[in-house]
């Protein structure tokens, strides 16, 4: 039975009407965009001075159906609110991206990933249907059966085909605790081989693995963190105060153990934005004690970063020190697992950024991508292959600028392409149009764009992801 207060459905219906009214009120030549209080995109963008579409009332969980293990969710509902609603029933989304303010609609029209992705794929693979406001101003339902071309092209379209106002997603049962084992490796080859075995067997040393990710600190020090759900009560760690999660992973032996509530496990990376809070001094014990706990979260660090970029504070400080400006290298790339060691060796030799996050993924077994031709790209705008294991490699920092604008990012793009990998488009990209077209489903994208946004009210994907607007 679906659980939702009547006013939640009414509020959502009212919100949809406000959204439609604000769309229709825009003059034809004015760019269409959402009015969003937060963003998890890191592209260089020119400030748009046009009013955004009214999203009031489109930020909540509409209903949860514990029996069917589904939820109807407004497109701009954050995962923080979604998880809070579903955990009440011992349920969680199949994939919960690492940062609390990522929205469900954002994770589906963009890409999300986390430590369940080795068994559950990406967030869009657990979507059963969506209501989408298209560029043509129509409100359409998209599913594998209804408007299937829009349904399959929507992931990785980044709002250039439309905006999801309601999504029905699958949920899975979760237990109250997660038992963690942090396994140390002294070579990257050993780590990636162990990761491959866990992906295939869902076990480590005979114990079931429900969650899997890793961290590379150096060529000689890397870890896999494997999690197993548990309903056995007992003491748990807390990484929302003075202790810092990523530092707890490091140890001298083969395996160290830890224990978290399921809530704290899902948000283990948010308190310190993985390790990026160090750039703001939040890991200095003296500052950390004075930094209010409620402000130790990714959304606050992101706001500080955008303020820094707006006023070029970092570049000014480097100039005072007599050092060159810095190039932002904030990227997540998907590398076929058999080429992962090659990429990591190259990256560690060429790019001065550590730690590095690793998160394995496979398109979901039993999902729509597992049917038909094993080599077919079911999600055309991000064509990962079914039945093939990939590793998401995440690195987020800055490097000294080179002779060419975006030089390090361009080098990474070329290397990822040479290894038959793919790069997420949430950050800066430098592809030429033809290359971008080949990598991100150009022909399929244009066909869907023509059908659902015939007047190009929304930006083109290449314009949004690569060109500076």
- What CATH code is carried by the domain that includes residue 56? 3.30.465.10
pLDDT along the chain (469 residues), means of 10: 69 93 86 67 55 87 97 97 98 97 95 96 97 96 96 96 97 98 98 98 97 98 98 96 97 97 98 94 95 94 82 61 82 98 98 98 74 63 94 96 93 98 94 96 96 93 84
At 263, give phi and psi (nearest 5°).
Answer: -60, -50
Contact 248, 258 (CB under 8 A): yes
The answer as to whether 68 is a domain residue is yes
d(CA 450, CA 161): 9
The answer as to whether 137 is a domain residue is yes
Residue 93 burial (CB count, 10 A): 26
Q: Tell me the residue range of the domain where 154 lies.
A: 6-174
The answer as to whether 264 is a domain residue is no
- C-alpha dist (Å) from residue 416 to 336, 420, 424: 10, 6, 11
The answer as to whether 193 is a domain residue is no
Contact 246, 356 (CB under 8 A): no
Number of domains in the chain: 1
DSSP per position, 230-299: E---------SSSS-HHHHH--SSSEEEEEEEHHHHHTTTTTTTTTGGGGGTTTSHHHHHHS-GGG-SHH
* Helix pair 188-201, 340-350: axis angle to 10 deg: 140
Q: What is the pLDDT of residue 469?
A: 46
Output the CA torsion sign for 58, 62, 68, 70. positive
d(CA 48, CA 244): 37
Query: Which residues are registered as beta bridge partners of 230?
Result: 177
Burial of 153 (0-12, 13-18, 19+ CB in 10 A): buried
The answer as to whether 138 is a domain residue is yes
- C-alpha dist (Å) from residue 377 to 117, 126, 434, 462, 463: 18, 17, 19, 20, 23
The answer as to whether 423 is a domain residue is no
Residue 357 burial (CB count, 10 A): 20
At 341, give phi and psi (nearest 5°).
Answer: -60, -40
Q: What is the pLDDT of residue 316?
A: 60
Q: What is the pLDDT of residue 5?
A: 62
d(CA 178, CA 112): 21
Q: What is the pLDDT of residue 225?
A: 98
Q: Which residue has the tokens 């990522």?
A: 102
The answer as to whether 161 is a domain residue is yes
Q: What is the pLDDT of residue 47?
A: 54
The answer as to whether 392 is a domain residue is no
Helix (H) or strand (E) holding 447: helix 442-452
């Amino acid at each position: 039975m679906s659980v939702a207060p009547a006013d939640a459905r009414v509020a959502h219906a009212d919100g949809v009407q406000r959204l439609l009214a604000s769309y229709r009120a825009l003059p034809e030549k004015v760019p269409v965009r959402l009015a969003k209080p937060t963003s998890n995109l890191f592209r260089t963008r020119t400030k748009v001075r046009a009013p955004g579409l009214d999203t009031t009332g489109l930020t909540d969980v509409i209903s949860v159906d514990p029996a069917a293990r589904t939820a109807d969710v407004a497109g701009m509902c954050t995962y923080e609110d979604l998880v809070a609603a579903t955990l009440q029933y011992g349920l969680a989304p199949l994939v919960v991206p690492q940062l609390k303010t990522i929205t469900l609609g954002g994770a589906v029209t963009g890409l999300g990933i986390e430590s369940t992705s080795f068994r559950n794929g990406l967030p869009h693979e657990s979507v059963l249907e969506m209501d989408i406001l298209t560029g043509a101003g129509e409100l359409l339902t998209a599913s594998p059966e209804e408007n299937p071309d829009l349904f399959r092209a929507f992931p990785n379209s980044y709002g250039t085909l439309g905006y999801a106002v309601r999504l029905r997603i699958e949920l899975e049962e979760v237990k109250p605790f997660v038992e963690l084992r942090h396994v140390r490796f002294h070579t990257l080859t050993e780590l990636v081989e162990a990761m491959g075995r866990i992906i295939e067997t869902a076990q480590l040393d005979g114990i079931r693995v429900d969650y899997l990710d890793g961290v590379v600190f150096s060529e000689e020090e890397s870890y896999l963190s494997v999690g197993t759900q548990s309903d056995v009560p007992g003491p748990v760690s807390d990484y929302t105060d003075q202790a810092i999660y990523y530092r707890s992973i490091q140890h001298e032996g083969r395996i160290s153990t830890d224990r978290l509530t399921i809530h704290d496990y899902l948000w283990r990376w948010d308190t310190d934005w993985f390790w990026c809070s160090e750039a703001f001094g939040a890991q200095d014990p003296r500052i950390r004690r004075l930094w209010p706990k409620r402000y130790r979260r990714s959304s606050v660090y992101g706001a500080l970063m955008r303020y820094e970029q707006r006023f070029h504070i970092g570049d000014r400080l480097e100039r005072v020190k007599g050092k060159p400006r810095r190039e932002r290298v904030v990227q997540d790339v998907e590398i076929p697992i058999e080429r992962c060691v090659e990429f990591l060796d190259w990256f560690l030799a060429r790019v001065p950024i550590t730690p590095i996050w690793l998160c394995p993924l496979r398109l979901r077994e039993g999902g729509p991508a597992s049917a038909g031709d094993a080599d077919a790209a079911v999600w055309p705008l991000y064509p990962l292959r079914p039945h093939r294991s990939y590793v998401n490699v995440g690195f987020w920092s800055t490097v000294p600028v080179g002779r060419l604008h975006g030089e390090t990012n361009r080098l990474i793009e070329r290397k990822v392409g040479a290894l038959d990998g793919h790069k997420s488009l949430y950050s800066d990209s430098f592809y030429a149009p033809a290359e971008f077209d080949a990598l991100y489903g150009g022909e399929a994208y244009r066909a869907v764009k023509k059908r659902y946004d015939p007047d190009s009210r929304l930006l083109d994907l290449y314009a949004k992801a690569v060109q500076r607007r």
